[in-house]
Amino acid sequence: MCRLKSKFALGFAVFALSASLNADEGMWLFEHFPKNVVAKKYGVTLSEAALNHMRQSAVRFNNGGTGSFVSANGLLFTNHHVGADCIQKLSSAGHDYIAQGFSAATLDGEKACPDLEVNVLLKTEDVTSRVNNGVTPSMPAAAANQKRKASMSAIEKECQAATGNRCDVVTLFSGGQYHLYQYKKYTDIRLVFAPEFGIAFFGGDQDNFTYPRYDLDIAFFRAYENGKPAHVGNYFKWSKEGVKDGELVFVPGNPGTTGRMATVSELEFYRDVSYPLTIARLKSLIAALTRYSDESEENKRIAQENLFGQQNSYKAFNGFMRGLKDEKLMAAKRASEAKFRQAVASNPARREEFAKFWDEISTAVTDFSKFYRDYFLFERTAIRGSELFSIARGVLRYADETAKPDSARLREYTTSGLPSLEQELYSTAPLHDSLEIAVIEDYFQFLVQELGAGHPMAVKLLQGRSPHDAAAAYVSSSKLKDVQERKRLAQDREAVHASQDGMIVLARLLDPDARRLRKEYEDRIEAVLVSSASKIALARYEISGGNEYPDATFTLRLAYGAVKGYKNDAGKWVPYATTLAGLYEKGTGKDPYVIPGSWLKAKTALKLSTPFNFVTTADTHGGNSGSATINARGEIVGILFDGNIESLPNRFFYDDKQARSVHVASQGIIEALTKVYKANRLLAELTGAGVP
């Protein structure tokens, strides 16, 4: 599954190569979509009206995925694995909607998610000059970085106050451009339909990032306003014919972090420093969650979504490493960079202005490698997988940061972002002490493994206790499961710093070093990278003539490509689509190939030749999960849910020889809703024959 997992990336946003007629490359800004390239290659011309319709029909699920409106009454279409966080939080021991699925028979039966936010992009505005106002060439990089961030916060605050919308200043082209994105925000999101996990993720982790696939990775939600279904003017209609081999498709979505044109030194940093640590951390956490799950069926239910997310990330990062360890790909990258640098050096004016910046980036990442481990462990991914720690740190920092002016706050605590932060911080979703103890214990064990038992941080956190006993003490003495207690502490800085709540104490113990390392990163590393990479981006822009797209930033982009099979490593042709018949052929009755009972019962009624999953050359990445797959008539022919393993190196090196995006076919979805689930109310709304 290609759900967004980008928190480990450095966030370098740099120019990507122009798409050519020989490849369907590009995660394009809507305002710069290469209509002429698509028209020349496929004979299809997108009008501005069509682009605007796609932009306003697509939505961003703020938990890391994409979706789209599919009816005028706020009906939302996304992946099961994008919606699984809400589905898990709505579940209980008596009503396991992850395992058993869910279908609301009536509007009143739709269940409200405790903390889900969905955004619709309304407009964008170039605010580069405003962000850079007051930044001078002679200003130290750290001061310039702080000045830009303060300007970004001020712009967002002003926009939110004037419009009531969510307002985010997005960094594009490594800081070469800054755009203000205005979103309409929906926070009352309710679950309408979800299939069983067994069919949504058929094949489990074993088949994740592979193809052929047989997954019904779909879910339907509904956006509400003022307690009633939201009325929307733009939504995608369902195709009557469904997907066809060879046809052009469009994929509007929110791809996460990519590094297509990261410098060689950055790629080597990922390969040698950051990704190995990330992979080791994920491996440890997966083992802990697996042990916890094996203890009981209830533990398995509680941990399922957490474990799924960690396994997904582990496989993804190993796929990224596959590209970085491929000597042919790295050699091609080195050659490309050398050619670009030569083009810069061949012009005296460009050489004087730009040549030094590659060396500045190399020096910065070398510097970063010296303290990256501690930064990763204490700040960037401290206690990954623990909801309770995320809340504790959020409460502590909320109290500290809101006492400051916006210009001095950490970016995630500025005024414009507080409503979204508060929805997450004060979520009523259930928390489970036993799971929290298992996750925090694993973090302590990993800390000791990486730093040594005598490291000051390990000594401070464990205080002579075993990792298990320390984790149990912090969790059992916490009252943060009570939302009112969270609110009380977040609004009272003195109280939160005097609190003896176990999880608040843990957050306070980590915070001084975490904040110090974050400041060190922002002042010494991020500041140089933004300054230098933006200059390299400017050089690329001059040399290429401006036909470029920025690296992904979990903001709305438009990709395109053909429905097309490929030859695998064995030289065997892999057809563009699988069928429902293939599901039954692959089912063994043993995990992870257990076909749900509802599908076994419906087998004789199904048209088994119906397309189920299919692949395209569309250029997508994590965060695109849940993106509608649209034909040239603007109709839904599927939904993206994954990429094959060959596509993972596309994070850095685009190639469409074997790399494919993986989608659920619209025909298979309708067949399942009709004959397996008999979801007549949902079907009527999708086809326009009925209302909620």
Lowest mean pLDDT among 1-10, 265-274, 295-304, 631-640: 1-10
427 pLDDT band (50/70/90 cuts)? very high
Which letter does DSSP use for residue 19 in this model?
P
Task: Establish if 281 belongs to a structural domain.
Answer: no
Q: Measured between alpha carbons, how far is 604 from 637 in angstroms, rounded to an integer? A: 25
Task: Establish if 367 belongs to a structural domain.
Answer: no
- CB neighbours (10 Å) of residue 130? 17
Whole-angstrom CA distances from 348 to 318, 343, 352, 634, 642 are 42, 10, 6, 49, 46
Lowest mean pLDDT among 21-30, 125-134, 493-502, 658-667: 21-30
**Residue where one domain finishes, among candidates 495, 511, 544:** 544
Helix 467-476 to helix 433-451 angle (10° resolution) is 140
Task: Establish if 333 belongs to a structural domain.
Answer: no
**Residue where one domain finishes, among candidates 159, 184, 209:** 184
Among residues 176, 248, 252, 145, the alpha carbon closest in space to that of 16 is found at 176
**One domain, residues 89 and 174:** no
**One domain, residues 137 and 172:** yes
Model pTM score: 0.95
Share of the chain above pLDDT 70, in %: 97
Q: What pLDDT does 76 receive?
A: 98
Please say if the pLDDT value at position 12 is more than 50: no
Burial of 290 (0-12, 13-18, 19+ CB in 10 A): middle
691 pLDDT band (50/70/90 cuts)? confident
Q: What pLDDT does 543 receive?
A: 76
Q: Measured between alpha carbons, how far is 420 from 639 in angstroms, rounded to an integer? A: 27
190 pLDDT band (50/70/90 cuts)? very high
Q: Which whole number is the average pLDDT over 225-234?
A: 98
SS3 6: coil
Helix 527-544 to helix 357-369 angle (10° resolution) is 150
Task: Establish if 426 belongs to a structural domain.
Answer: yes
Q: Are 12 and 174 in contact (CB under 8 A)?
A: yes
Please say if the pLDDT value at position 245 is more than 50: yes
Among residues 177, 178, 233, 228, the alpha carbon closest in space to that of 55 is found at 233
**One domain, residues 535 and 586:** no
The residue written with tokens 């956190």 in the block is 461
Tokens (6 digits) for 630: 């649209």
Q: Is the bond into 195 cis (omega within 30 degrees of 0)?
A: no
**One domain, residues 540 and 671:** no
Higher pLDDT, 481 or 537: 481
**One domain, residues 79 and 218:** yes
Q: What pLDDT does 538 receive?
A: 81
Helix 327-345 to helix 297-324 angle (10° resolution) is 50
SS3 438: helix
Q: Are 425 and 413 in contact (CB under 8 A)?
A: no
Q: Please report the beta strands in 12-129, taking only residues with DSSP state E, as ranges in sequence order.
A: 58-61, 65-69, 75-78, 102-103, 111-112, 118-126
Q: Which whole number is the average pLDDT over 31-42?
A: 95
Tokens (6 digits) for 652: 């850095």
Burial of 428 (0-12, 13-18, 19+ CB in 10 A): exposed
Lowest mean pLDDT among 21-30, 151-160, 505-514: 21-30
Q: What pLDDT does 23 receive?
A: 85
15 pLDDT band (50/70/90 cuts)? very low
> Which residues, at least 6 apart from 623, have a Cβ–Cβ distance to it below 8 Å?
2, 3, 4, 6, 64, 65, 66, 253, 254, 255, 256, 552, 554
Give the CA-trace dihedral at 463, 465, 467, 471, to 10 degrees.
-80
Task: Establish if 351 belongs to a structural domain.
Answer: no
Q: What pLDDT does 16 receive?
A: 38
**Residue where one domain finishes, among candidates 184, 200, 229:** 184
Chain segment 337-396, per-residue pLDDT in tens: 999 999 889 989 888 888 899 999 999 999 999 999 999 999 999 999 999 999 999 999
How many structural domains is the chain composed of? 3
Whole-angstrom CA distances from 473 to 127, 141, 386, 478 are 49, 43, 15, 9
Chain segment 75-85, per-residue pLDDT in tens: 999 999 999 99
Note down the domain range covering 419: 384-544
SS3 18: coil
Q: Which whole number is the average pLDDT over 61-72?
A: 97
**One domain, residues 492 and 508:** yes
**Domain CATH for 48:** 2.40.10.120
Q: Are 201 and 81 in contact (CB under 8 A)?
A: yes
Task: Establish if 318 belongs to a structural domain.
Answer: no
Please say if the pLDDT value at position 128 is more than 80: yes
Phi, psi angle pair for 67, to nearest 5°: -155, -170
The residue written with tokens 């239910």 in the block is 301
Q: Are 629 and 230 in contact (CB under 8 A)?
A: no
Tokens (6 digits) for 244: 């066809």
Q: Measured between alpha carbons, how far is 615 from 610 in angstroms, rounded to an integer? A: 15
**One domain, residues 588 and 524:** no
> Please, what is the average pLDDT of the chain?
95
Burial of 658 (0-12, 13-18, 19+ CB in 10 A): middle
Task: Establish if 328 belongs to a structural domain.
Answer: no
Lowest mean pLDDT among 22-31, 52-61, 641-650: 22-31
**One domain, residues 532 and 568:** no
Task: Establish if 364 belongs to a structural domain.
Answer: no
> Which residues, at least 6 apart from 47, have a Cβ–Cβ distance to it below 8 Å?
none
**One domain, residues 459 and 601:** no
Chain segment 532-582, per-residue pLDDT in tens: 999 998 888 777 776 789 999 999 999 999 999 999 999 999 999 999 999
22 pLDDT band (50/70/90 cuts)? low
**One domain, residues 45 and 97:** yes
**One domain, residues 231 and 108:** yes
Q: Which whole number is the average pLDDT over 190-204?
A: 98
**One domain, residues 98 and 146:** no
Q: Measured between alpha carbons, how far is 458 from 28 in angstroms, rounded to an integer? A: 45
Q: What pLDDT does 1 receive?
A: 56
Q: Measured between alpha carbons, how far is 688 from 238 in angstroms, rounded to an integer? A: 9
